[in-house]
Amino acid sequence: MNDPNGLVFYEGEYHLFFQHNPTHTDWGNIHWGHAVSTDLLRWKQLDNAIAPDEHGLIFSGSAVVDWTNTGGFQTGQEKPLVALYTTFGQYQKPARPDTQCIAYSNDRGRTWSKFAGNPVLPMISPGNRDPKVNWHEPTQRWVLFGADGRYVLGQFDGREFHIASGKQSLDWGPNCYAGQTFSDVPQGRWIHIAWMSSGQYPGMPFNQQMTLPCELTLKDGHLCKYPVREIAALSGKTHTWRDLTVKPGANPIAGITGELFDIEAEIALGDAHEFGFELRGQKIQYAMGAGELFCAGRCAPLPPVDGRIKLRLLLDRSSLEDFGNEGRSASTTQFLPKPDNQNLSFYSSGGTTTLVSLQVRELKPR
């Protein structure tokens, strides 16, 4: 699997479609796979939604609920789900240009029909693909972001996008790509899932994975990314500390072991040169002088706020997702810890650091 596609919410269900080869763990024969969830945590895989055809492989796209039947596809009481996607024709014989096509569902996404008039858009220019569809309503702010997570803020009048900021990064890690947001989520929430790209899973009967769902918010001109509140339902035993001074060589969380954790910390900067966590062999380091958070060879800018930083670390069996200052920075890392290393540590180097608060929550698998 790779890119998430067609993220849409309808009648209590989140729909996650995804680039998928149903016959092999290597790339190729690309369909839209399909899974649904009522809580963003527990997913049930359904039948593949859209298969390749004479136009090409089924590449990325998006989906919406057509609440007013503007497409004319509705046949019963359910509102149609409508997907717009790219057909990748370069592997056809003879090769075809990449085009944009439509499919629709009248049974809550369980079966899909392709529009008889496909393709609906010709190739505009090479590489122009993977359409994102949304219903346009005038608002104050718009965010335009690409597959690499770089984004700009601006204004959109329905035809032209006017950039109001320079490029910024949503995620600084090595394994976050092709993210999408769910359409039609209640309460105005913007929920983001990305492909945790380039993962390595030796000996496994699967290949690649998705990030945990995160909510996007706009704060002080920056797009912030933070785990959805639903993750609290996975919390098990919780270990808590407050106002704890950590000296070099000390490890306040020694003795806590396991595979799955949700860790939250508020840290007051002391006279240490560096502090951080080591989780199952993976280090997360904060360099005081640079004001940066390092993980897996990447660094994210994280300036302190009133002399403190906040960290949220989500550790899974093959990944680590970290968030600084309530989502002001984020980093996604895929890694495979050694099975016999289930140790956790917090350290302070070159001086003391104060843990204003620390919660280490053991997570239930599902």
Q: Which residues are catalytic?
A: 3
Question: In which residue are the tokens 């945990």 written?
Answer: 212
Which strands form 4-10's sheet, in the order they lie side by side? 4-10, 13-20, 31-37, 44-45
Centre a 10 Å sphere on the Cβ of residue 184 and count the other Cβ atoms it contains: 18
| Cα distance between residue 48 and residue 274, in whole Å | 48
| Cis preceding linkage at 94, omega within 30 | yes
Assess contact for 83 and 104: CB atoms under 8 A: yes
3-state secondary structure of 226: strand
| Cα distance between residue 328 and residue 321, in whole Å | 13
3-state secondary structure of 113: strand
| Cα distance between residue 286 and residue 364, in whole Å | 28
Assess contact for 177 and 169: CB atoms under 8 A: no
| Cα distance between residue 342 and residue 181, in whole Å | 33
Assess contact for 154 and 144: CB atoms under 8 A: yes
DSSP conformation class of 56:
B
3-state secondary structure of 234: helix
Beta bridge partners of 360: 239, 263
Written as six digits, the tokens of 363 are 């997570």
Assess contact for 360 and 263: CB atoms under 8 A: yes
